Amino acid sequence: MEPATVNGHCAPGFARVREAFERNFSEHGDVGAAVTVTVDGEAVVDLWGGHTDATGTRAWEHDTLVNVYSTSKGMTALCAHLLADRGELDLDAPVARYWPEFAQAGKQDIPVRWLLSHRAGLIAPREPLSAGHAYDWDHVCATLAATEPWWEPGTAQGYHAVTFGYLVGEVVRRITGQSLGAFLRSEITEPLGARVFIGTPAEEHARCADMVGQLDEARIAERFPGVPKPPFRSLSDHPLAIVMLALTYIPTGDVNSAAYRSAEIPAGNAHASAHGLATVYGALAGGKLVGPGTLEAMRRSQSLPGERDLAIDALAPAGYEHRWGLGYMLNHQRLSGPNPRAFGHGGAGGSWAFADPENRLSYAYAMNKYGGGTTGDDPRNSGLVTAVYESLARARG
């Protein structure tokens, strides 16, 4: 494969971001990637390079889309917050107000905010679904509506890696009559001109990069040797049972397939450009999508001081402490720069996107070489974020 060619631009003073981006190819194995940073809604960094396939035959372009895994959750949560901002959704109301079937199995009192903050205890169905069921929206939602929570709702937080998107997405669908992906496009991304899709149209598939490596059961088994195969009956079956439940009970299949790209799996299969993600977060940072009260609510911690996340703690580096906002990862670990009030979401593989309203800044990095995860343990992203804030500080003197 030929050395990566980096295209795009950096504003004066942001050259060190380009240097960090180039190092990701030369030192950290990036195949294809893009990074965009906006300040006051203007792109001060907009870079892309490398290839969209493992063999290096297709160049990464400005409009290339790539699966960003759980970075998708930030877009999904935004749909709910847009409805809340309009007064159409009460986050403290029971989910069953909007989705009556959800009241089964003792879930009649679970509020919408517990879906957004991973406190509903619905990390998975009680039995694994068959391959392909992830693409059947009605089947997955009916299964989750009938599922008994894995812990008493509200008493703990545990990352709903796959189910988050169906749960929040079905509330959006019941209110609007549109699927989550259709609502995202009509109300947010198309008006902004942002290339972000959940349920990617067939005509866009040719612009999708292939993931080089992906999250699957074999990779999980390699990382966690000795974990028994599902089904699990309780979280006490094995110390890592909750991770296996969250990641394997709704198998999503080949992430490079047309079926996966076309499906709506709002917790994890947004296909986006870095420019598209940064455009959406830039609009948030600039106060253009929701009012100030909603913006504050989105990034207000829903976690108790020192509270562990039942799922993420098993995957995170030593000493990692996770705090959830309403659908967003909060920045107490400074993974999204020095502002503790920045918020966004990362994805398995290494993608990352966030808004920093105090600095009027947004950031997005997207790539196709599977690397780190949602806990910030990826030097490609951390090197870029460090370079962004060093450049910002120098630019502001």
Is 336 catalytic? The answer is: no
* SS3 category, 208: strand
CA distances from 89 to 84, 137, 317, 343 (A): 4, 21, 36, 22
Q: Tell me how far apart the alpha carbons of residues 243 and 310 are, in angstroms, rounded to a whole number.
A: 8
Catalytic residue among 26, 70, 273, 336: 70
What lies within 8 Å, CB to CB, of 40 at 6+ separation is 286, 360
What lies within 8 Å, CB to CB, of 60 at 6+ separation is 32, 33, 34, 48, 49, 50, 51, 52, 209
The structure tokens listed for 143 are 């299964």
What lies within 8 Å, CB to CB, of 166 at 6+ separation is 137, 140, 141, 144, 265, 266, 267
Identity at 299, one-letter amino acid code: R
Q: Tell me how far apart the alpha carbons of residues 183 and 277 are, in angstroms, rounded to a whole number.
A: 16
| Closest of 85, 289, 314 to residue 189, by C-alpha | 289
Apex CA 36: angle with CA 190 and CA 28, to 5°? Answer: 130
Active site residues: 70
